[in-house]
Amino acid sequence: MLLRELQKRLAGLYDAPAEHDVYDFLITDAQHAAALQGAAATPATDEQLLVVEEEDGVGISLYLDRAVMERLAERCPLRSLSEENLADYCTALEGVSHFHYLVWSAGRARHVSLLELELQAEVDKYASAL
């Protein structure tokens, strides 16, 4: 339950409670992520927040590559963060950060830019890795 713990830590760091569980929105199958985007090719990255604006809200899915999740299960960064799992940890944390920030903002009818999501994720990766 690594992603849930990462989400919990971000929520605590910013006193921004998690309103939705990241696992309810997680996709680890690249073909499924491509299909949701209407793309023929699989995502070019190991992490991607998929967002669709709808009349009554926002549709969200978080794609994290299955191989990243498997490697993190083998070398859990919550037990030991090292050069062996740092890149995968940052990938997962970036996805959780994007998800958490967007959900938190949407719950307050606040618009979010791609720049905000990316900047927040960089801050979150730095603060969490420390």
The pLDDT tens digits for 91-128 are 999 999 999 999 999 888 898 999 999 999 999 999 99
Q: How far apart are CA 19 and CA 107, in angstroms?
A: 8
Domain residue spans of the chain: 2-129
3-class secondary structure, 124: helix
- Over residues 36-43, the mean pLDDT reads 84
Q: How far apart are CA 56 and CA 67, in angstroms?
A: 34
The pLDDT tens digits for 78-88 are 999 999 999 99
The helix or strand, by DSSP H or E, that contains position 47, with its residue range, turns out to be strand 47-54
